[in-house]
Amino acid sequence: MKTNPLLHWEYFPQFSRIRPEHVLPAMNETIEQSLQELIALEQTLPKTWHGLLVPLERLIDRVSRTWGLVTHLYNVTNSPALREVHSQAQPEVIRFYTRLGQSKPVYTCLMALKDSPDFSSYSQALQRIITILLRDATLQGVGLTAKDQEHSNHLSQELARLTTTFANNVLDATKAYVLTLTKAEQVRGLPQTALALAATMARAQGHAHADQESGPWCITLDLPSFLSFMQHAKDRDLREEVYRAYITRASNGATDNSFLIKEILLLRQELANLLGYENFAAMSLARKMASSVKDIEILLQKIRTAATDPALNDLVDLEDLAQSQGQSEELKPWDLMYWAERLKEQRFNLQDEEVRPYFPLPAVLQGLFDLVGELFDITIVEQKEMETWHPHVSYFIVLDENQKEKGGFFLDPYARPEEKRAGAWMDEMVGRSTICAPTGTSLRLPVAYINCNQRPGLDDAPSLMSFSEVTTLFHEFGHALQHLLTTVDHGLVAGIANVEWDAVELSSQFMENWCYEKDILARLARHYQTHEPMPHQMQAQLLQARNFRAGSNALRQISFALIDLALHTADPHNLDPVALAHHISQEILPMPPLPEDRFLCSFTHIFAGGYAAGYYSYKWAEVLSADAFALFMENNKDQRHLQGRRFRNTVLALGGSRHPMEIFKLFRGRNPDPNALLRQEGLLLQSEGS
Q: Which residues are the active-site residues?
A: 476
Q: What DSSP state is assigned to residue 652? A: I
Collapsed DSSP state (helix, strand, coil) of residue 123: coil
State the virtual CA torsion across 278, 282, 286, 290 in degrees, nearest 10.
-150
Other Cβ atoms within 10 Å of 321 Cβ, number: 17
Q: Are 230 and 546 in contact (CB under 8 A)?
A: no
Contact 303, 550 (CB under 8 A): no
- C-alpha–C-alpha distance, residues 245 and 248, integer Å: 5
Residues 6 or more apart whose CB falls under 8 angstroms from that of 636 comprise none
Could you tell me the CA-to-CA distances from 10 to 63, 295, 438, 491 in Å, in that order?
Answer: 14, 44, 6, 15
Q: Are 613 and 281 in contact (CB under 8 A)?
A: yes
Is residue 37 classed exposed, middle or buried when 0-12, 13-18 and 19+ CB atoms within 10 A define those classes? middle
**b vs e for 428-457, b when ≥16 Cβ sit within 10 Å of the residue's Cβ?**
bbbbbbbbbbeeeeeebbbbbbbbbbbbbb
Q: What are the DSSP E strand ranges found in 439-525?
A: 447-454
DSSP letters, 556-612, are HHHHHHHHHHHHTTS-GGG--HHHHHHHHHHHH-SSPPPTT--GGGG-HHHHTSS-T
Strand partners, 397: 381, 408
C-alpha–C-alpha distance, residues 598 and 582, integer Å: 9
Contact 270, 156 (CB under 8 A): no
